[in-house]
Amino acid sequence: MPSSIKLSYLLHKLKSNLFTIGFFIPAFLYLVSFFVIILVFLLKFSFSEGIPFLELFSANEFKAALWRTFWFMGIATPLQLVVGLLLALLIQQSYKGVGMVRSFFMIPIAIPALVTAIIIDLVFSYPFGPINDLLLGRHGFFPQITGVPVNWSGSEFLSLGLAILGKTWRDMPISMLILLAGLQTIEREQYEAARTMGAKSWQEFKYLTLPLLTPAILTILILRSIENWKEFIFPFILAPAYPLLGVLIERLYHVEQNPALAASVALCLVALIGITTLIFTFITKMVRKYLVRV
Amino acid sequence: MKSLRFILICLVLFFIIFPLFMMTKYSLSDRESIVTGGKYPEPFFPFKPNLEMFEALSVRKDFAGAGLTSLWVGLLAVAFSLFLGAPTAFALARFKIPGIAILLFFLLSVRLFPDISAVIPVAELLLSRPFSLLPPVILVGLAHTLLALPYTVYIAKGVFESIPKDLEEQAHVLGAGKARTFLKILTPLALPGLGAAAIYTFFLSWNEFVFAYFLTFQGTQTTLPVYLLRILTWSPQKNFISAISLVICIPVIIFTFLVQRYMKEGLTAGAVK
């Protein structure tokens, strides 16, 4: 008799757990199986089809793309941080119409990245476009800056600069929101205390806001550097002649029809992101320690 | 200080509005306003603003086809991700699951891959048999579900957590089983929040380019962003391209103003402790 009680208890437990499992499993199974598929495909393609990684690393095309991506990440990340901080400071306090301003600051993230890239391409078109018209001094109100129209997509520096501009424009709201959340955790009393001690607003920013905002700033640096490593759409549209790693993957897959090589570059990109994240996490820990000690 | 802030806000607003203004301007432009031949600067307002481009778009079958494809892909992604994600979110919000932190990590892990890296295996998988027999709408819908599902689970988890537990207990006392409680009591209460997740998913899919581009690279049927790129390579006419861009943007801009609160949650999810 006891065994049957035990059995029914077990059955009951299984039944109730089955319910939990049944509820939990759908999305979990979908996401994890895709995770496994992606990982296995990338590894299998990169290693089993005889792609010599050393050869890939020494290929000029890959090396150039790697350097470009590195510079793209290295310039775009701090730029996005500064822009995000400016925007967050502008909408942090409450004043008349702040809600409206905030809504307008959110617009860029709503515009599809592809559309943003294409509009920038149109605005900076060569030889005749609105920006070139301005720089050539063809509008009365603007001084002439250059004698010949600027060919934006023809220069590595300028076309990648445009890609950084586009990426920064589109992702402004993300950095802004994270920094805004960070700013709002700083208590009002601390500012009041600083003010009674005679701190000027610049000093307040330097000695109070910035140190207390450090966690949010580090979060942004991690998230943005990941995001910038893997950027594809803006350089794809604005700097097709100077491929970043993402653009190189697309080209290897579609133009050269070489999925194995594309997969190995894709795997390199994953590894780079992993390494960057590790480095930044380490820095974050060190900075936290330092902050606590002070 | 106040005037400095005002000036800065105006500058940033100008910086944000300028590309949108240019897009609108081009889409309303006549030929003389965009093809200047270098004889005169491009005007800031079109000489003869008109709706010709939109009229041309309205009769184009390929444009209507791309619009419908985008719509269907978005709806499929919403249906898939709610159907898969809502129960999971409920389980995460209510049941005690051992090792939940690891499970949560696995839920998000697929988003650790860059889109441009993940798209190669996904395209290789979905473009080979048996998946390639499915219509492209479903393939792109499946890919977009993959992108949206972690966010759906995250938003829906918050929604279920905000519903008081007493309700379930009362339903249980009155004799309702767990499944019935979920369907009859919780789902109706959660609908507004799930609606926000649905809108978020829909516009993620509406804006998405990379996966749609790879999955419909060879076919004729494609979504609006990919259609826009194809038009750009075939006939780069400033006014026509801008008109298509504007049509893609308008619904998104409107809804951004409506669902901002939830967008914020989706964007900053897990970012700040």
* DSSP code at position B42: P
Q: Please answer whether residues A247 and A235 qualify as being in contact, where contact means their C-beta atoms are separated by less than 8 angstroms.
A: yes
Considering the domain architecture, whether residues B237 and B119 belong to the same structural domain is answered as yes
What percent of chain A stands above pLDDT 70?
Answer: 93
User: Which DSSP helix (H) or strand (E) runs through A135?
Assistant: helix A130-135
| A134/chain B closest Cα distance in angstroms | 8
Q: Are residues B44 and B178 in the same domain?
A: no
Among left, alpha and beta (phi > 0; psi -120 to 50; other), residue A257 is left
Same domain, residue pair B30 and B123: no
Tell me if A118 and B84 make a contact (CB, 8 A cut-off): no
Boundary of a domain, candidates B10, B27, B50: B50
> Does residue B172 sit in the same domain as residue B86?
yes
| Start-to-end CA span in chain A (Å) | 68
Residues of A in contact with B117 (CB under 8 A): 38, 42, 230, 249, 266-267, 269-270
Picking from B91, B149, B83, the residue whose alpha carbon sits closest to that of residue A17 is: B91
Chain B residue numbers with beta carbons less than 8 Å from the beta carbon of A129 are 42
pLDDT at B219: 82
Domain that holds residue B192: 61-267
> Radius of gyration of chain B from Cα atoms?
23
Is the minimum CB–CB distance between B42 and chain A shorter than 8 Å?
Answer: yes
pLDDT for the residue numbered B259: 65
Specify the pLDDT at position B246. 93
Size of interface A-B (CB pairs under 8 A): 239
Instruction: Residue B184: name the closest of B194, B172, B193, B196 by CA.
Output: B172
CA distance A105 to B183: 39
Query: Looking at CA atoms only, how far is residue A221 from chain B in angstroms?
Result: 11
Q: Each residue's pLDDT tens digit in chain A (294 positions)?
A: 566 777 777 777 767 677 777 777 888 889 989 999 999 998 888 776 666 666 677 678 888 999 999 999 999 999 999 999 999 989 888 788 888 888 889 889 889 999 999 999 999 988 788 888 888 877 777 777 777 888 888 888 999 999 999 999 999 999 999 999 888 888 778 888 888 888 777 787 778 888 888 888 888 888 899 899 999 999 999 999 999 999 999 998 999 888 888 888 899 899 999 999 899 888 888 887 776 654
CB-CB under 8 Å, A123 with B22: yes
- Comparing alpha-carbon positions, the chain B residue that sits nearest to A224 is B271
The answer to whether position B11 is within a domain reads: no
| Inter-chain residue contact A250 with B97, CB threshold 8 Å | no
| B232 contacts A105? CB cut-off 8 A | no
pLDDT digits (tens, 9 = 90+) for A239-288: 999 999 999 999 989 998 888 888 888 998 999 999 998 998 888 888 87
Q: Domain segments of chain A: what residues?
A: 1-48, 52-293
Chain B closest-CA separation from residue A4 CA (Å): 25
Do residue B166 and residue B188 come from a single domain?
yes
Does B33 share its domain with B128?
A: no
The per-residue pLDDT for B261 is 58
Give the Cα separation of B157 and A8 in Å (integer): 33
Task: Find, in chain B, the residue whose alpha carbon is nearest to that of A237.
Answer: B229
- B7 domain-assigned: no
Q: Go through B9-33 and write b for each residue having 16 or more CB atoms within 10 A of its CB, e for each that does not.
A: beebeeebeebbebbbbbbbbeeeb
Q: Determine whether the interchain pair B267/A130 forms a contact, defined as Cβ–Cβ distance below 8 Å.
A: no
pLDDT, mean over chain A: 85
> Residues 129..158 of B with a Cβ closer than 8 Å to A: which?
145-146, 149-150, 152-153
Q: Is residue B162 scored above 90 in pLDDT?
A: no
B268 band by pLDDT with thresholds 50, 70 and 90: low
For residue B207, which residues of chain A lie inside 8 Å, CB to CB? 112-114
Q: Which two tokens stand for residue A274?
A: 């992993």
Looking at the fold, whether B139 and B225 belong to one and the same domain comes out as: yes
How many residues are there in chain A? 294
Q: Are residues B24 and B83 in the same domain?
A: no
Cβ–Cβ of B267/A123 closer than 8 Å?
no
CB contact under 8 A, B252 and A110: yes
**CATH architecture assigned to A52-293:** Orthogonal Bundle (1.10)
Between CA B213 and CA B236 the distance in angstroms is 19
- Residues of A within 8 A of B106 (CB-CB) are 28, 31-32, 35
Please judge whether B249 and A270 are an interchain contact, meaning their C-beta atoms are less than 8 angstroms apart. Answer: no
Residue with tokens 């060569």: A126
Q: Average the pLDDT over B164-168 and give the result.
A: 80
Has residue B203 been placed in a domain? yes
Residues B111 and B43 in one domain: no
pLDDT at B272: 38
Q: Enumerate the residues of chain B whose CB falls inside 8 A of the CB of residue A109.
A: 256, 263, 267
Residue A248 has a pLDDT of: 92
The total domain count for chain B is 2
Instruction: Assign residue B207 the CATH number of its domain.
Output: 1.10.3720.10
Residue B45 shares a structural domain with residue B89? no
Residues 52-91 of B with CB under 8 A from A: 81, 83-85, 87-91
Q: Is B131 among the domain residues?
A: yes
Give the residue among B68, B56, B60 at the shortest CA–CA distance from B243.
B56
Q: For position B87, what pLDDT does the model report?
A: 87
pLDDT of residue A38: 92
